């Protein structure tokens, strides 16, 4: 039996969960959170034709890039991804072993009060894609296309040895395929408003760093670890992504979601699943949490991250 696009809800939002079949304006291949609607405003945070937390593509050292018969689609979007079960608090999707990369997948979405959405991805590798004497290095992109936020940038604390309100940066890129992230420092020593974030991003960048997805083996600001990042939405909401086991995640970001012809950009606030040496037959899991709440400062962001990392996860 096919379960059609179930809705998960909590006090803050309604999340419509989609497999990768087409339906209305939901295009074939896109999957994950088809819409994330804030109850108070009715605003959908994601681009309607696309998805958020979208299981999108693989990068496998040793294998040429996947090319489906009809072109353009990536393998996780091309092969059937189906909703296996759903209840008012959680949805389970599965993808059988794919024909090209031989990866099977289980994805669980779960809501938590008052404003949390959890995602767990479990991947099993059924064949090696590198030679026996090489590391079976894997990266898989998950994409979130944000619908016209007032601020397209991402923010995080780069220096965790400094005081709570010091060492914060904003990230952007000149264009979609630019090889470098542009790093802007945020003001130290005091809390700042959402508008002050944008003001800081208008200054000259203090540093450039290799894009950790385009150049996956390059040293990044966080030693390859991605503990969290946040973006700012309309109505002074913060979009906070938190990652358990940060060493297995990388950052991916596009200022315009790969669509440079658009006059109004929909940025991609993405993350990458990463393994240095994937073993055959062993399930690997990635856990993350999205919090949507009023922006209450950078110290509050760190409190949310600490709460998440100290919590138990049950899927």
pLDDT at site 270: 94
Domain interval for residue 172:
7-310
CA dist., res. 51 & res. 34, Å (int): 5
pLDDT category, 244, cuts 50, 70, 90? Answer: very high
Q: DSSP 3-state assignment of 244?
A: coil
pLDDT category, 63, cuts 50, 70, 90? Answer: confident
pLDDT digits (tens, 9 = 90+) for 223-242: 457 899 999 999 999 999 99
Name the helix (H) or strand (E) containing 307. Answer: helix 298-310
34: in domain:
yes
Determine the average pLDDT of the residues in 169-181. 84
| Phi, psi (rounded to 5 degrees) for 123 | -120, 140
pLDDT digits (tens, 9 = 90+) for 91-102: 999 999 999 999
1: in domain:
no
Angle at 14 between CA 9 and CA 16, to 5 degrees: 105
Q: Does residue 307 surpass a pLDDT of 90?
A: yes
315: in domain:
no
Q: Does residue 18 surpass a pLDDT of 50?
A: yes
CB 242 within 8 A of CB 300: no
pLDDT category, 211, cuts 50, 70, 90? Answer: low
The domain total for the chain is: 1
CATH of the domain at 257: 2.70.98
Q: DSSP 3-state assignment of 199?
A: helix
CB 128 within 8 A of CB 246: no
DSSP codes, 202-233: TSPPSEEEE-TTTTTTS--TTTT---EEEEEE
The proportion of the chain whose per-residue pLDDT surpasses 70, expressed as a percent, equals: 90
296: in domain:
yes
Q: DSSP 3-state assignment of 198?
A: helix
pLDDT category, 282, cuts 50, 70, 90? Answer: very high
CA dist., res. 99 & res. 258, Å (int): 27
pLDDT at site 6: 95
294: in domain:
yes
For the chain, how many helices (H) and strands (E)? 3, 18
pTM: 0.92
Q: Who's near 77: CB < 8 A, 6+ residues apart?
A: 20, 28, 29, 30, 31, 55, 56, 57
288: in domain:
yes
2: in domain:
no
Other beta carbons within 10 Å of 48:
14
Q: Does residue 218 surpass a pLDDT of 50?
A: no
């Amino acid at each position: 039996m096919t379960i059609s696009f179930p809705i998960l809800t909590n006090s803050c939002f309604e999340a419509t969960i989609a497999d990768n079949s087409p339906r209305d304006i939901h295009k074939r291949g896109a999957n994950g959170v088809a819409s994330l609607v804030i109850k108070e405003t009715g605003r959908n945070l994601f681009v309607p034709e696309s998805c958020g937390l979208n299981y999108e593509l693989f990068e496998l050292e040793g294998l040429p890039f996947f090319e489906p018969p009809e072109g353009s689609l990536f393998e996780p979007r091309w092969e059937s991804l189906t909703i296996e079960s759903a209840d008012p608090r959680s949805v389970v999707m599965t993808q059988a072993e794919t024909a090209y990369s031989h990866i099977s997948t289980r994805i669980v979405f779960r809501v938590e009060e008052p404003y949390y959405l959890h995602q767990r991805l479990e991947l099993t590798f059924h064949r090696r894609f590198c030679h026996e004497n090489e590391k079976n290095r894997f990266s898989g992109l998950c994409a979130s296309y944000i619908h016209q936020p007032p601020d397209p940038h991402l923010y995080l604390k780069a220096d965790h040895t400094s005081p709570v309100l010091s060492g914060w940066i904003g990230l952007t890129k000149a264009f979609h395929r630019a090889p470098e992230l542009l790093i802007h420092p945020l003001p130290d020593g005091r809390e700042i408003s959402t508008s002050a974030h944008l003001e800081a991003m208008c200054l000259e960048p203090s540093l450039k760093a290799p894009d950790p997805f385009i150049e996956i083996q390059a040293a990044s600001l966080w030693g390859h670890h991605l503990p969290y990042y946040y973006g700012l939405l309309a109505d002074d909401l913060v979009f906070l992504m938190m990652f358990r086991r940060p060493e297995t995640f990388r950052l991916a970001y596009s200022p315009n979601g790969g669509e440079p012809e658009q006059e109004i950009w929909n940025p991609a606030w993405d993350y990458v699943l990463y393994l240095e040496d994937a073993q055959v037959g062993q399930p690997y899991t990635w856990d993350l949490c999205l919090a949507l709440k009023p922006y209450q400062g950078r110290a509050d962001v760190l409190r949310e991250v600490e709460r998440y990392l100290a919590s138990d996860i049950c899927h």
